[in-house]
Structure 1
Amino acid sequence: MNFELSDEQVMLRDAAAAQLSRRDGVGAARAARDGAALPDLWPLAREAGWPGMLVPEAWGGADLQLFDAMLVLQQCGRRLDGAGLIGHLCATQLLGRAARRGDAAAVALLPELATGTRRAALLAALPPADGEGWTVDAPGTGARRIAAPRLETAGGMARVTGVAGYQPDAAGADPLVVVAVDRDGRPRAVLVTADAAGLAVEPQVRGDASRPLGAARLEATPGELLDAGGDDLTEAWFSAQALLAADALGICEASAEMGVAYAKERHAFGRPIGSYQAVKHQLVEVLRHTERARNLCYYAGYAAEHARDELPLAASCARLAAEDGADLATRTCIAVHGGIGATWEHAAPYYWRRAQLSRLLLGGAAGAADRVATEMIARARARGGGS
């Protein structure tokens, strides 16, 4: 199994880095902390062709794999950019599955989404584990999960009622792909336009202003059922986990590079501080966490294409390792810089903030750890025949 990037993947990664270097992500985050609006990065994403990465060629997309999208998200994390991609990519992946089955709504919509003329977002729900139902994050400040929106169908009309908080890229998206549960407990994908009656989407900012989030409230909101079932919705959830892991890997890399560069140029007692074991050992530990996260992210990308049954475990492992790595890397970066690293004039606190919020989104690192534990226990029981 060779995880070396192909020439095309290297070109995609480098092109993404060059495209994102045209703006100052840290400067935008600093301005947003002071109340300014984040710059609209969607035109930049459209120029690069990113909206159509996961859209099948038949509907104008590039028909790339999840791992290719992860390479772009890795660069977004390195530069504190959001670009609206996580929500859009997961929605287009799901719509692509429906379009291949002949779903008329998905077929009609995908060409616009592929070019970025319209930006979609997925209101993701956590698949059940240990007998629980599908759940979403509550929109309030308390860290809790609630039941996914409910689906009612009557007279051929689908209506959705419920709330979902802290959804990446939901604010300003049109349409939304909502994960809702019908009366029999089955998850369904519902296509909802931004102007639908009973729908309200409010922007949310919690700690980190660099990542666009939204809270959606639906009250008997009409929508169109898509030809996508539980397996498709599960895949979309774990694709989002893999994309968030790639973003966190970018945070690891950027923070490690900042810390190493400063340790080389800052002198104390006539020597670079990086020559002291107390500093170098911390940075080596960051490197170890970063490489572990990279390996697991690469395997998650591989599993999405070649071993889909492995995607839930692979994406959860990648998410857990990358979020833990980003937490350690950003804290270490601040510590290595000393006093200046804790000031708003420096970039380090903004990476730390992004890492802290990332750890909480879409189930968070704790949810990924629970999923890994559940999968491993289930496999051990299956091998041993235990209960």
Structure 2
Amino acid sequence: MNLELTDEQQALREAATGALSRVADYEVLRDALEGAARPENWGLVAEQGWAGLLVSEANGGAELSLFDAMLLLIEAGKLLVSHELLGHLPATTLLDAASYPGTADYAEGTKRAAFLAARPPGDVETAWTVEARSGSARAAAPTLNADGTVSGEVAWVVDAPGADLLVGVAVDGSGTAKTVAIETGASGVSIEGPVLRYDSSRLLGNVSLSNAPATVLEGADPARAWYVAQALLAAESYGAVETALTVSVEYAKERYTFGRPIGSYQAMKHGLVEILRQRENAYAVMLYAGWSYEDKPEEFALAASAARTAAGHALDYAARQQIATHGGIGATWEHDAPLFFRRSQLSRRLLGGIGDSTDRVAGELLAA
């Protein structure tokens, strides 16, 4: 396992930083929370060729590694940029695995897919489940009817509004999970959204399916796509941690109280060092997740879940410490810290939440 980035990965990261910085704007995010239009950056994604990062060259994609995609999400997380890749990239791995007709359109970005994320069975919950609209209990995954249509509801679907295709799990009459693709313009498909919750950079929608025509994707592993989404969300969270740490350290050096920079006080040092410790821990398990995706797939579920847990906790702590470091102004709209706090609180709840990923790690380790 090589811990150093290749020249190509360095170039990808630098190009992503340059492109994303052109559209990053915290004021736009603030305005969206007040009712203005949320930022739309899919045109940039298509222009940069990011839509096909995880699609094979045979199907029109770039055929890069999962870790390459994670590097891109790190840069997006640093700037809180809206990008619609968290829903699109896991979906395209399923389209690519099944050689779905028209996959090249999704790889090129002329069309956009969204992942109907369903949590695979585990040691606690033995059924496929999806997000419910409310409450702590998860809902049953959609049903694949005998006539090939799909019925059910999936709430809080990342990047569903505006998508051309929904890709996810439907359980047939025998209880077997099937990967299905459903065109959003088909009969029986309803998407409520965009739904705003906490973070205005995040595109969410509630999907309802009533006898919606679907295509079964043979050869596609929906559990693998679930963990791809976990790894990507971990990477995006890690990027936000980096910014929170950088901004907090710089402020601690220049803000003086009682004639000393606040960073010289032990309590402040401990808080900032704890962000650093959690950031480094998250990066280590992210490397593990990116490596295991191709080189040791039997460990990918554990690695991706561990990365999601570590990065989620790191961002939650970093966002809170960023506010504490900046004092009173850190909790007001005069500063960007509340935007990072909002990102942390929504991210830690999406895709089963970090509680679920922690349970998954515990289950994997106990089973071993």
TM interval, shorter chain, is: over 0.9
Spell out, residue by residue over 1:220-261, the C-alpha distance to the aligned partner (whole angstroms, 9 max, x if none). Answer: 1111111135xx111000000000000110111111011001
Q: 1:326 aligns with which of 315, 321, 327?
A: 315
> Offset of 1:321 from its aligned partner?
0.3
Is the contact made by 2:168 and 2:222 (CA closer than 8 Å) also made in structure 1? no
CA distance in 1, matches of 2:241, 2:86: 19
Task: Name the SS for the 2:58 alignment partner.
Answer: helix
CA distance in 1, matches of 2:322, 2:32: 22
Give runs of aligned pairs for residues 35-54 of structure 1, distance below 5 A: 35-54=35-54
CA distance in 2, matches of 1:74, 1:305: 20
- Name the counterpart of 1:385: none
Spell out, residue by residue over 1:145-204, the C-alpha distance to the aligned partner (whole angstroms, 9 max, x if none). Answer: 1110000133xxx11110001111111101111311111111111111111111101122
> Offset of 1:281 from its aligned partner?
1.1
- Name the counterpart of 2:146: 153
> Offset of 1:109 from its aligned partner?
1.2
CA distance in 2, matches of 1:347, 1:339: 13
CA distance in 2, matches of 1:96, 1:62: 12
Q: Provide structure 1 residue ranges, at least 5 long, that are not aligned to the other structure.
A: 100-105, 380-387
CA distance in 2, matches of 1:79, 1:143: 31
> Offset of 1:120 from its aligned partner?
0.6
Matching residue's letter, 2:49: G
- Name the counterpart of 2:152: 162
- Name the counterpart of 1:259: 248
Q: 2:163 aligns with which of 149, 173, 179?
A: 173
What count of residue pairs does the alignment treat as equivalent? Answer: 366
2:108 is the alignment partner of 1:118: no
Q: 2:180 aligns with which of 187, 190, 207?
A: 190
- Name the counterpart of 2:229: 240
Task: Name the SS for the 1:254 alignment partner.
Answer: helix
CA distance in 1, matches of 2:17, 2:136: 34
Which stretches of structure 1, 4 residues or longer, exceed 4 Å deviation after superposition? Answer: none
> Offset of 1:339 from its aligned partner?
0.5
> Offset of 1:28 from its aligned partner?
2.1
Root-mean-square deviation (CA), in Å? 1.1
Give runs of aligned pairs for residues 1-387 of structure 1, distance below 5 A: 1-99=1-99, 106=100, 108-130=101-123, 132-138=126-132, 140-154=133-147, 158-203=148-193, 204-229=195-220, 232-379=221-368
TM-score by length of 2: 0.97
Matching residue's letter, 1:129: G
CA distance in 1, matches of 2:360, 2:276: 25
Matching residue's letter, 2:359: D
> Offset of 1:297 from its aligned partner?
0.7
CA distance in 1, matches of 2:24, 2:56: 32
CA distance in 2, matches of 1:180, 1:240: 18
> Offset of 1:59 from its aligned partner?
2.0
CA distance in 1, matches of 2:200, 2:136: 19
Is the contact made by 2:91 and 2:168 (CA closer than 8 Å) also made in structure 1? no
Task: Name the SS for the 1:209 alignment partner.
Answer: coil
Is the contact made by 1:202 and 1:214 (CA closer than 8 Å) also made in structure 2? yes
Is the contact made by 1:28 and 1:210 (CA closer than 8 Å) also made in structure 2? no
CA distance in 2, matches of 1:128, 1:113: 29
Spell out, residue by residue over 1:298-350, the C-alpha distance to the aligned partner (whole angstroms, 9 max, x if none). Answer: 11000102110001000000000000000000000000000000001211000
Matching residue's letter, 1:198: G
